[in-house]
Structure 1
Amino acid sequence: MFLEVHQRRSDSPYVERVWHSRSNGGGRMTSIASTTWDLVFWDLAGQAHVTVHGPETHATHLEVPAGATFFGISFTLGTAMPHLPPTRLVDRAVEVPNATAASFPLAGSGWERPDDESVETFVARLVRAGIVIRDPFVATRGASVTTTLRTIQRRFRSATGLTPGAVRQIERARRAAVLLRDGRHVTDVVDRLGYYDGPHLRRSLTRFIGRTPALLKDPDPVDQMSLLYTT
């Protein structure tokens, strides 16, 4: 594999995963659909970059250059930056200008670039500054709120950039991909996750994961996938 990827969970309610990777030879990667956004720090040929990657509603294929290093913070569903609302980030990536190897600007202030050990402290500082917020409504999926369905959907989309239905479909596809990768049979996954049949599962995986069930069981060594886990 040309891309080495390492990841860990976080005890911060604002952070889903912390990950870092290095491309040894360059190659093609499939970025799978995701319901959350990432703050990514990456370096190539001596140049430092910071990018905000929004939620992705379908799988996409990317060319990863050789010699690039990446460090990313994946935020939990419902966590957002008010100056870059999720509705503006869906299927988009926004480059943060004037980044260096040591610091970068964000929401009008300068910030030291974090590393794996300082992520939680860094995010806590962003929260205290009001740059990162979390909507408790989304954290509970609106379970304790008595209101109209239209209001729930509007608030959910404002906080995540996605509809509740899109989030359910993407999360179900990711769970299905993990089960198939771990050796579960297609019929077992169909029954467990409520797909209509095998073709329905295949269409969902092709759209959101960029893989058929057969390719998940026998991965393509040339075309790697982005980090796959269940939220």
Structure 2
Amino acid sequence: MGLAVESRSSDSPYIERVWRSSSDDVGRMTSVATARWDLVFWDHRGQIHVAIQGPESRASTAPVPEEATFFGIIFSLGTSMPHLPVGGLVDGSVELPDATRRSFQLKGSAWRLPDYDNAEEFVGRMAREGVLDRDPIVAAVLRGGSPEVSERTVQRRFVAATGLTRGAVRQIDRARRAAVLIQEGVPAHDVIDRLGYFDQPHLARSLARYVGRTATQLRDRDAPEPLSLLYKT
């Protein structure tokens, strides 16, 4: 009972992670902040829905439909749909029209619904047909590179590709890493040292803003309200 989530990594440069889940006897969850956006498909009592979910700048409470199944593609940071500026999707979403068990509408064309196992093939087609793009500067910075452009250009490219500043992306990703470490049993003082927090209050404020949990609550595996997907990057 609750929200059962399964996920896997991907070898596609456009995909951060692929996930699927099902809900049973749960009405809401805590949605953790994320710098990535994703394409989500769900079946709620026979009705198919497809939505683009934008980046989330802070943790929030989200409703969960009862007896629903979900499948989602989390896109890698720097990947975007040029026809749909991601800045307008921060802390929001847009549902795509004409969704059936076979297809849905995207950028004026009918697309066959993908599934958990063929997400890479589907995203590859999106890239080939120009529906999807990936900013090489953002990707290089994330790999630790130093592109031969100004810091101002890097900041502008981050905002254009993610809807968030480079600093916001860094803070969100650090809080998510901290939450994963705490769930694994790493003591808070070790998390502070590993991830560069100033002190315990600094870590606590970050967790409250971006994860919506205290360190103690993250260690509780029987929390009444489930968290959205947390994973190691």
Same fold (TM over 0.5): yes
Task: Give the one of 195, 200, 203 matched to 2:205.
Answer: 203
Q: Is the 1:15–1:74 contact (alpha carbons within 8 Å) kept by the matching residues of 2?
A: yes
SS at 2:118 equivalent:
helix
2:88 matched to which residue of 1?
Answer: 88
Other-structure match for 1:14: 14
Shift of 1:46: 1.6
C-alpha distance in structure 2 between counterparts of 1:27 and 1:174, whole Å: 23
1:112 pairs with 2:112? yes
Structure 1 unaligned residues grouped into runs of 5+: none
Does residue 145 in structure 1 map to residue 144 in structure 2?
Answer: no
Residue 205 of structure 2 aligns to which amino acid in structure 1? R
The Cα offsets for residues 145-192 of structure 1, whole Å up to 9 and x where unpaired, read as: 223322221111111111110010001001100111000111111111
Once the two structures are TM-superposed, the CA of residue 220 in structure 1 deviates from its matched residue by: 4.5
Per-residue CA distance 1:76-114 (angstroms, 9 max, x = gap): 000010111211111111110111111001011110000
Alignment of 1:59-98 (within 5 A): 59-98=59-98
Matches within 5 A, 1:131-210: 131-141=131-141, 143-210=145-212
Unaligned 5+ runs, structure 2: none
> How far off is 1:217 after superposition?
1.2
Structure-2 residue corresponding to 1:41? 41
Q: Secondary structure at the match of 1:224?
A: coil
Letter in 2 for 1:119: A
**Is the partner of 1:162 in helix, strand or coil?**
coil
What CA distance in whole angstroms lies between the structure 2 residues aligned with 1:230 and 1:157?
24
> 2:126 aligns to what SS in structure 1?
helix
Tell me how far apart the structure 2 counterparts of residues 147 and 8 of structure 1 sit (CA, whole Å).
34
SS in 1 for 2:95: strand
Count how many residue pairs are aligned between Structure 1 and Structure 2. Answer: 231
Q: Quick one: distance in 2 between partners of 1:148 and 1:9?
A: 32
Amino acid in structure 1 at the alignment position of 2:219:
K
CA distance 1:86–1:64, shift in 2 (3 Å): same
| Partners of 2:171 and 2:180 in 1: CA distance | 14
Q: What are the superposed Cα offsets for residues 105-159 of structure 1, whole Å, 9 maximum, x if unpaired?
A: 1011110000112111111111100001111111111834223322221111111
Which range is displaced more, 221-230 or 49-58? 221-230
- Aligned to 2:111, the other structure's residue is in SS state strand
CA distance in 2, matches of 1:197, 1:219: 25
Superposed CA RMSD: 1.2
1:122 paired with 2:122, answer: yes
| Contact 1:28 1:222 survives alignment (8 Å) | no
